[in-house]
A and B are shown apart, each in its own frame.
Chain A
């Protein structure tokens, strides 16, 4: 149980030693450094440094009695307060990032022509590819698998759907017919989506392919990479392939 709590505290931004010392101090109450060190299983000199660090974060208070330093834990609610402060600070940083974006972009634009093919690795790379779809000036055409998308990027999608909708970008999507896909299409209207379902036993697939503007985006959600190809010719051809598939999918969708 203590190990689980320690792991949670790491998520909150504490180091492993800070987590151990803080939990030990919570159990002990006001204590001498020697007792804290013993309880946490760290060296006395380390405990000093860690307790000072926790004091800076407002998680420990220090008092002196007859030249002896005593350490008292702040109530655990202080952790929430710290997280709230950090979250506020991060949102302010988003605002500052938005204001310096023009300067950053001017360096980007000045570094020569943009590549026609971009390769993105890992889940963060896939997120970058999804972010690019939000630059679309037209309806996105997509072959996609809802369960693969949600399993690969948990927590990313409700916000992505909201942001796409708020930009007025519609998506025309063909999904394998699964319970997850059926759940999702219940939100079609608010998520600006037109969707057709095709039998999963015949047409099951896991990657996502998006087409918009002059771009074709391939996302391998299992192998975790994305490829953004910018080509008027290819985009045009893939859009036509999609339109053909859409006609076929309509037949299955009407048979549901």
Chain B
């Protein structure tokens, strides 16, 4: 899944040891490909008929594409406010797209399963959250090449951030994970990162107690960062946000830092 040359050195004059780990090169252009691959394998193993998830685009697209040919149906639950263009692409690749006012309701797994259910016989999984272990493989790939002082990733619900924290713990690395997110819970220019609720809240709290870091940016900063850095790779606003770390955190000149590009604009 990961090409050998995924780790690229970035030429920032003041940050000599900065690398980019590029997940936009995954098959469907997103870091979520990793968890979606695990989800499909598990669903096939246990003969699950249907998967349902809340998505703002990339994750649902990746899951639906991976499910093609497996016989597993993918139902994307999207916000009514989601761009029509994205909805239409999701409709093309997934079994069903259900529009819900997600601003007013936090849907728990049982509710999502009920919404997606068409017959009593169906076995349905909500896969909006969980499976963050799939991101541990990123740490394994990075650790094979270098032991960074910091790894920087975008933080939305926190699944990627927690997966990387667990990975660092698993491989006994001293690496600190830095999550860069938005202040906006409902709608952000970094559209993949706004989330009104997350099951990872407590885990994020614990990670911060262990010395990992989370910074949250204003909308104007996110726009500014995207404009400034989008050409450093194949980014969208939700992935380019990682460059905000240079305004938020003071690195030592000897620090090695890996920025994770979580994906390109797929839909």
Instruction: List residues of A whose CB falls within 8 A of some B CB.
Output: 85, 88, 91-92, 94-96, 98-103, 105-107, 109-110, 135, 137, 162-163, 166, 213-214, 232
Given contacts A91-B47, A92-B123, contact A102 B109 (CB under 8 A): no
Q: Give Cα A213–Cα B140 distance, bound, in whole angstroms.
A: 12
Nearest-Cβ distance from residue A104 to partner chain B, whole angstroms: 9
Given contacts A92-B123, A95-B48, A96-B109, contact A102 B206 (CB under 8 A): no
* Contact indicator A99/B159 (Cβ below 8 Å): no
Q: Give Cα A98–Cα B133 distance, bound, in whole angstroms.
A: 11
Q: Give Cα A232–Cα B122 distance, bound, in whole angstroms.
A: 47
* Contact indicator A99/B126 (Cβ below 8 Å): yes
Nearest-Cβ distance from residue A130 to partner chain B, whole angstroms: 17
Q: Is B211 an interface residue (CB 8 A)?
A: no
A–B complex contacts, Cβ < 8 Å, 26 sampled: A92-B123, A92-B124, A92-B125, A94-B46, A94-B125, A95-B113, A95-B124, A95-B125, A95-B126, A95-B127, A96-B125, A98-B42, A98-B125, A98-B127, A98-B131, A99-B109, A99-B125, A102-B159, A102-B199, A106-B200, A110-B205, A137-B170, A162-B45, A163-B45, A214-B172, A232-B172
**A162: chain B residues within 8 A (beta carbon):** 45
* Contact indicator A166/B162 (Cβ below 8 Å): no
* Contact indicator B132/A102 (Cβ below 8 Å): yes
Q: Give Cα A102–Cα B171 distance, bound, in whole angstroms.
A: 19
Smallest Cβ-Cβ distance to A105: which chain B residue:
B203
Q: Give Cα A92–Cα B46 distance, bound, in whole angstroms.
A: 10
**A109: chain B residues within 8 A (beta carbon):** 203, 206
**B130: chain A residues within 8 A (beta carbon):** 98-102
Q: Which of B109, B140, B201, B206 contacts A100 (CB 8 A)?
A: B109
Q: Is B129 an interface residue (CB 8 A)?
A: yes
Q: Give Cα A25–Cα B191 distance, bound, in whole angstroms.
A: 62
Q: With contacts A102-B203, A137-B171 known, what are 20 further pairs, Cβ within 8 A?
A: A85-B120, A91-B48, A91-B123, A95-B124, A96-B126, A98-B131, A99-B126, A99-B128, A102-B130, A102-B159, A106-B201, A106-B203, A106-B205, A107-B202, A109-B203, A110-B205, A137-B136, A137-B140, A163-B45, A232-B172
Q: Give Cα A178–Cα B123 distance, bound, in whole angstroms.
A: 42
Nearest-Cβ distance from residue A163 to partner chain B, whole angstroms: 8
Q: Give Cα A91–Cα B126 distance, bound, in whole angstroms.
A: 12
**B200: chain A residues within 8 A (beta carbon):** 102, 106
Nearest-Cβ distance from residue B72 to partner chain A, whole angstroms: 12
**B201: chain A residues within 8 A (beta carbon):** 106
Q: Is B92 an interface residue (CB 8 A)?
A: no
Q: Give Cα A95–Cα B124 distance, bound, in whole angstroms.
A: 8
Smallest Cβ-Cβ distance to A102: which chain B residue:
B199
**A103: chain B residues within 8 A (beta carbon):** 199, 202-203
Q: Give Cα A135–Cα B132 distance, bound, in whole angstroms.
A: 13
Q: Is B41 an interface residue (CB 8 A)?
A: yes
Smallest Cβ-Cβ distance to A98: which chain B residue:
B130
Q: Is B110 an interface residue (CB 8 A)?
A: yes
Q: Give Cα A101–Cα B162 distance, bound, in whole angstroms.
A: 12
**A95: chain B residues within 8 A (beta carbon):** 48, 109, 113, 123-127
**A107: chain B residues within 8 A (beta carbon):** 202
In chain B between 102 and 124, which residues have their CB closer than 8 angstroms to a CB of chain A?
109-110, 113, 120-124
Smallest Cβ-Cβ distance to B41: which chain A residue:
A166
Q: Which of A88, A98, A101, A213 contacts B123 (CB 8 A)?
A: A88
Contact indicator per residue, chain B 85-112, by CB within 8 Å of chain A (1) or not (0):
0000000000000000000000001100
Q: Give Cα A109–Cα B165 distance, bound, in whole angstroms.
A: 11
Q: Give Cα A211–Cα B200 distance, bound, in whole angstroms.
A: 32
* Contact indicator A99/B199 (Cβ below 8 Å): yes
**B203: chain A residues within 8 A (beta carbon):** 102-103, 105-106, 109
Nearest-Cβ distance from residue B203 to partner chain A, whole angstroms: 4
**B41: chain A residues within 8 A (beta carbon):** 166
**A106: chain B residues within 8 A (beta carbon):** 200-203, 205-206
**A135: chain B residues within 8 A (beta carbon):** 170
Smallest Cβ-Cβ distance to B128: which chain A residue:
A99
Nearest-Cβ distance from residue B176 to partner chain A, whole angstroms: 16
